[in-house]
A and B are shown apart, each in its own frame.
Chain A
């Protein structure tokens, strides 16, 4: 299971990467994509909206299941990855790279400190 040490994580299997200027990139983890199986559809209709911590910002659909994706921290959804509309399977192939989901502007960057470290997240998925 790939869990890069430079990212922050949620117990709901999102990852967050701080980009500077109070912005961050958000995606779903390698564990999440492997549990979902082939991802066939990703819907994010919250671009431009400011959402609170743990609010749903989109949904990811695999062949057999639908899962909500939650904001790791509060913030405005700036942009959705244009690639995942036509090629949702890029999230299966490269969940931390080309398969990122959204970019956000954090309302309160200090919330990042409440997220899980790679080591802590490793504990979550091995439970």
Chain B
């Protein structure tokens, strides 16, 4: 099992640790609910050094990315970030990711920790016909970055104390290379997986100690706390963000997953499985990923069955939890055609009961019954 540059701090702080994607990661410190609410109301820090990073460079980089990702990379300008996915050749998804454009021949991909090896071999395989050589134009930099996500409404204000560059006015999903906390250069990105605002900071592992200490010192007056993977999951689910492995996988399409907005059928963009997904977009799909909130009291969880009012099976829960903020059961699941309209009542099979729920659009922290 690998450690991140911050593992020693998690252990020192008494976090409950567990293996995740081959890394020794913190699951919770003060408790999932407390950490969740800290991020929604103030500011929290996540060690996300386990995430993978891949550079794509050279004159063929754009054409390659237009082929292997679903979103329109040509719409990116320098300093902008895009959410996207890698379609596989059977209409499923290899992984979801972020694409950063540094310049027209330099892109930075951020991928899921659990998928680093799978993505890397997929990218190497697809890169061949574009003349991209692994280790050169394609470069797996996953072990060369430490990363912290500082999330919450006070995150940018707290981080502003650590740099002369202006970060509080940065637009959502942009980035810049800036001097930070005495470190010559970090990648400062206004992205995140919580729906609470804030940033993600990438630096060299040698600078990790400096970054960790500075971030907590600067955040002290704002009530900053370390946050584990437990709250990372409840926060992303409450925000309605998909998790690869739960809501997305090798056999779900972006159209089924409600990710049509990152799937661009623009002229000249011949991405893998485009034909299949374009057909789905035009003709509809048999199932669709939808969010729901429990009306009856209960906690939905992954793999629980979904029923219609007559008790017929119409789908399965892919992610579920109790929202620490609203104390309502919330979840997402694939639901059969004809049953997925917003406001429709569905029933979640929780142990031996079928409990009433309602289809709603996330984010769930703004949903009231």
Contact = CB atoms under 8 A, between A and B. Distances in A.
Interface of A: 37-38, 40-41, 43, 59, 61, 63-64, 66, 89, 92
Given A38-B324, A89-B33, A64 B299 contact: no
A57 to B, nearest CB: 14
Contacts of A63: 32-33, 230, 234, 321-322, 324
Interface of B: 16, 28, 31-34, 230, 234, 297-299, 301, 321-322, 324, 327, 351
B16 A37 contact: yes
Contacts of A37: 16, 28, 31-32, 230
Given A37-B28, A38-B324, A41-B322, A66 B33 contact: no
A40 B322 contact: yes
B299 A61 contact: yes
Given A59-B351, A61-B322, A63-B324, 10 more contacts: A37-B28, A38-B32, A40-B33, A40-B324, A41-B297, A41-B299, A61-B299, A63-B230, A63-B321, A89-B33
Nearest to A89: B33
Contacts, number: 36
Nearest to B33: A38
A38 B32 CA distance: 6
Among B230, B299, B324, find the residue whose CB has the most chain A CB atoms closer than 10 A.
Answer: B299
Contacts of B16: 37
A43 B298 CA distance: 9
Contacts of A40: 33, 299, 322, 324, 327
Contacts of A92: 31
B331 to A, nearest CB: 13
What are the 4 tightest A-B residue pairs by CB atom distance, in nearest-first order? A40-B322, A63-B32, A38-B33, A61-B299
Contacts of A64: 32, 230
A37 B35 CA distance: 12
A63 to B, nearest CB: 4
Contacts of B28: 37
B26 to A, nearest CB: 13
B53 to A, nearest CB: 28
9 contacts: A37-B31, A37-B32, A38-B32, A40-B33, A41-B299, A43-B298, A63-B322, A63-B324, A66-B299
